[in-house]
Amino acid sequence: MTLLNDPRTRRRRLGAAAACTGLLAALLTAVPAAATPDPGDGPAAEREISRSAQAGAAAAIADGEIPGQDEIVHSDNIEHLTNIPKDALSGINSDLAFQGKYAFAGNYDGFRIFDISNPKSPKTVSQVLCPGSQNDISVSGDLLFLSTDSSRSDSSCNSTTQPATEKSSWEGMKVFDISDKQNPKYVAAVETACGSHTHSLVPERKNVYIYVSSYSPSASYPDCQPPHDGISVIKVPRKAPETAAVVNFPVLFPGEGPDGGGNPGSPTNPGVSKTTGCHDITVLPEKDLAAGACMGDGILFSIKDPENPKVIDQVQDNVNFAFWHSATFNQKANKVVFTDELGGGGAATCNAAIGPNRGADGIYDIVGKGDKRKLVFRSYYKIPRHQADTENCVAHNGSLIPVKGKDIMVQAWYQGGVSVWDFTDSSAPKEIAWFERGPVSTTTLSVGGAWSAYYYNGYIYSNDITKGFDVLKLSDRRTDPAQRIHLRELNVQTQPDYFD
C-alpha cells in the first residue's frame, strides 16, 4: 500500500488537463443532475474521454500525483483491514445497514448479510437475489426493508424490467423477515408512487413508519404523475408486516400549477434540478426532526406526528448546488450537512475545472427554536485531492463519528474514496483522514468507488460499487473516544442520539 500524505502534490497536472480539454463542461451538459447511476439490471455504462484527458491521467499516475489503477492509498491514521469482493450478486453495490454483529449490504441485484463479529474477517451469512435498483436497505428488529426504483413486471423477486408507461408495472417497498439471518423471508410489498429511490425509517415500539423518497414523474406514467411534490408514508405493524400500507402522501412543496412549489430548475435556475419529490431524508427521532434533500431544495421538517410531517424551513442554492442528495445532522441538532450530487454520480467533478464549491457538501447551521427554526448556510466542504477525468467523484453517503463535543463525519465520494472530516467549526471544515483506490480505468470514465462509508462500533464500513465490501480502522486521538460508543442497530438515515 502506498501512502500519499500531501494532497497538494495531486493538483497540478489534473487541474491543467481538465481546464485545457473542457471535458467536464461538456460532460456536465450531457449528464443531467439526476440521482445516482441507475442502469437497471445492466452493467454500469462507460464513457470514452478525450485522448488528452487519457494522457493527463496516465502522466499523473506516472508522476505519483494520483494512485495507479486500483492501487490502494490512504492517510497514516487509517488502516485497510479487508475487502470482500462481490459474490453471487454482481450488480452495483449500494447502501449499508447494521444490527448487532451483522452488516446488511444492498446491491442492485438484492442484498447480502455479513457477520462482522470479527471486522478483520467478515463472513457471508446469506445472499438474497431480488433485482430492483437501487435496493436501498435498512433494518429494524426482525424486519428488513428494501427500496425498488426500477419499473418491474411484478413485486416478486423473479420480476423482470418493464416500461413505467404500463399500468401493470410495479415499484415500491419490499419487506423481509430476518429473524433467521441465514434464511430471510419476503413477507410484504407496498407499491408507491414513482417507486422508492431511497427510504428512511421512523421506528416505534409497535410500528415502523417509512418515509419513501422518489421523484421524476411523467404524464405518461400511470403510477407516477406530476407534480409529485411529496413523499409516501408507509405504516408497517411489527407483528403483522404483511399488512403494511401507504397511510399518507404529505405534500412538502405546495404551490400553484402542475409543478408545485419546489425549485423550478432550468431554465429559471440553470444547471439546477427541478424539484419533483425528494431524493433522501434523514430523521432524528429523539428531536422530532427530519432533513430532506429534495433535488432542487433542502428542507427541515418536524416529525412530531410521524404520519403528518410538517415543513419548518426550505432553502435553495441556485449557484453551486445541482442536486440536493442527502443530509446529516450533527449530534446537537444545530447543524445539517447537505450533499450535492453534481452530474448524477456518474461524472468526474473532483478537479480544478469544477472547483471546491460545486459537487461539495453544504454546511448549514440551524438557528431559532421550535417551528421557527431556520437553515443558515455557513460553508462548503469538498475533498482536497483532485481526481482523474476517468473517475466519477462527488459527495455521497456518510455518517457521524460519535465524539462528544465534536462534529466529525466519515463520507463516501465514489472514486474519490472515503473522507473523514471535522465540521465543528461550520465555517471552516477540514479533512483529518482519507482512503481511496486509484482509477477503475485510465482510458474511460467508468462508474465505481465508495457508495456508502459509515462508522459503526469502532470501524468504518464502505460498500464499493465495483470492488465490494471494505473495512477500515481509524486510529486518531480526535476520533478514538468514539470507540466507546456501541449501538445495537444503525440505519444512518435514522440518526441515533449517541449520548442519551
Q: What's the pLDDT at 14?
A: 55
Element (H, E) at 283: strand 280-284
pLDDT in tens, 241-277: 999 999 999 999 998 766 778 999 999 999 999 999 9
pLDDT in tens, 314-324: 999 999 999 99
| Averaged pLDDT for residues 309-316 | 97
Rounded distance, CA 193 to CA 248, Å?
11
110 forms beta bridges with 107, 129
Buried b (16+ CB within 10 A) or exposed e, 188-209: bbbbbbbbbbbbbbbbeeebbb
Q: What's the pLDDT at 223?
A: 95
Chain centre distance of CA 14: 26
CA nearest to 52, candidates 14, 10, 24, 17: 17
Q: What's the pLDDT at 98?
A: 98
Residue count of the chain, please give it: 500
Q: What is the pTM of this model?
A: 0.92
Does residue 149 have a pLDDT over 50? yes
Does residue 81 have a pLDDT over 90? yes
Give the chain's domains with CATH numbers.
Answer: 7-490 (2.130.10.10)
Range with lowest mean pLDDT among 50-64, 171-185, 317-331, 402-416:
50-64
Range with lowest mean pLDDT among 8-17, 83-92, 137-146, 148-157:
8-17
- % of the chain beyond a pLDDT of 70: 91
| Averaged pLDDT for residues 67-89 | 97
Rounded distance, CA 500 to CA 488, Å?
14
Q: What's the pLDDT at 28?
A: 41
The CB density around residue 243, as the number of other CB atoms within 10 Å, is 11
Q: What's the pLDDT at 45?
A: 60
Does residue 34 have a pLDDT over 70? no
| Averaged pLDDT for residues 476-481 | 98
The CB density around residue 357, as the number of other CB atoms within 10 Å, is 16
Between the two ends of the chain, the Cα-to-Cα distance in Å is 40
Does residue 7 have a pLDDT over 50? no
Chain centre distance of CA 251: 23
CB-hemisphere CA count at 13 Å for 296?
Answer: 24
Q: What's the pLDDT at 257?
A: 66
